[in-house]
Amino acid sequence: MCLILVAWRAHPAFPVVVAANRDEFFHRPTACASFWPDAPGLLAGRDLEAGGTWLGVTRRGRFCALTNFRGPSRQKAGAPSRGALVRDFLGGDVSPAAYASRVVEGGVAYNGFNLLCADAETLCYASNVSGEALVLPAGIYGLSNHLLDTPWPKVARAKSALARSLAALPDDSGLFALLRDDHPAADEDLPRTGISLEWERLLSSALVRGVDYGTRSSTVVLMRSDGETRFDEISYGPDARDTGRVRESFRREPPPATCAS
């Protein structure tokens, strides 16, 4: 996942708005988003190589998504899959704040990552690069393959576009439009992350059009204040050709009842 935009409590009817693109090699096997047979309340795509996921939601109103931190010199051979971090939050009941602290404490085992996790009450950010575990206030956030709100050109453009799109909700066409933005940044605005200039150019747009590597999916999640969740995901093949769409809508389930002592 290389671009995640979140509007948290920035709209009166939609406290959670997510627009995200996942970029990956096209040869990596992937299952389209669905409710998982082994975790029926979990809705997400699935990495069939390592078993985790990059973004998902649950019927109980949990959300989690992850990006890798771009830094070739930081890569560790044999590190565990970061997709398990998203899967484990979605499948568990640990609070976002506690989970963010946990993954930072245990983050040394993984290659660099940024993680956003939320329930109906709290949104948190965690990074094993910065060592931060933060509870985020209301606002609009952007995350690519550096730290939260690092103003890479595509992050800055997408955050502005998300802010403009909120007024049109529940029409999500503006959200998909910002995810389909394939305009590269000017060379003088590109970050320098240790990869070639050619790759920096390719990866500088929200939608990455590539033959071997590129945007595999665009996902929009809208969570209403009344508990309804809408999940809409478009999948792509090489050169950003549409290959399918998944739409799901459900109402948030209440937490399980607990016995009074």
For 108-117, how does the pLDDT look when each residue is reduced to its tens digit (9 = 90+)? 999 999 999 9
Cis peptide before 170 (omega within 30 of 0): yes
For residue 259, being part of any structural domain is answered with no
Residue ranges of the chain with per-residue pLDDT less than 70: 1, 73, 256-261
User: Which of these, 226, 174, 180, lies nearest to 205 by C-alpha position?
Assistant: 180
Q: What pLDDT does residue 78 have?
A: 86
Q: Domain total for the chain?
A: 1
For the domain that residue 8 is a member of, what is the CATH number?
3.60.60.10
Residue 258 lies in a domain: no
Cβ density class 241-261: b for 16+ within 10 Å, e for less: eeeeebeeebebeeeeeeeee
Domain presence at residue 231: yes
- Residues 63 and 91: their CA atoms lie apart, in Å, by 10
| pTM of structure | 0.94
Q: What is the pLDDT of residue 258?
A: 53
Please list, in sequence order, all residues whose beta carbon lies within 8 angstroms of the beta carbon of residue 198, skipping any fewer than 6 positions away. Answer: none
Structure tokens at 32: 């389209």
Contact 111, 119 (CB under 8 A): no
Residue 256 lies in a domain: no
* 36 is a domain residue: yes
The candidate with the shortest Cα–Cα distance to 23, out of 190, 189, 235, is 235
With respect to residue 69, please indicate whether it lies within any of the assigned structural domains.
Answer: yes
Q: What is the pLDDT of residue 254?
A: 82
Judged by phi (left if over 0) then psi (alpha if -120 to 50, else beta), residue 149 lies in left
Q: Is residue 148 assigned to a domain?
A: yes
Q: Which two tokens stand for residue 5?
A: 């935009």
Structure tokens at 72: 């070739």
In a domain, 113, yes or no: yes
pLDDT score, position 3: 98
Domain holding 169, by residue range, is: 3-251
C-alpha dihedral over 135, 136, 141, 147, to 10 degrees?
-40
* CA nearest neighbour of 248 among 3, 83, 41, 92: 41
Phi, psi of 154 (to 5 degrees): -70, -30
Report the candidate in 58, 56, 96, 92 with the shortest Cα–Cα distance to residue 253.
58
What percent of the chain clears pLDDT 70, i.e. is strictly above it? 97
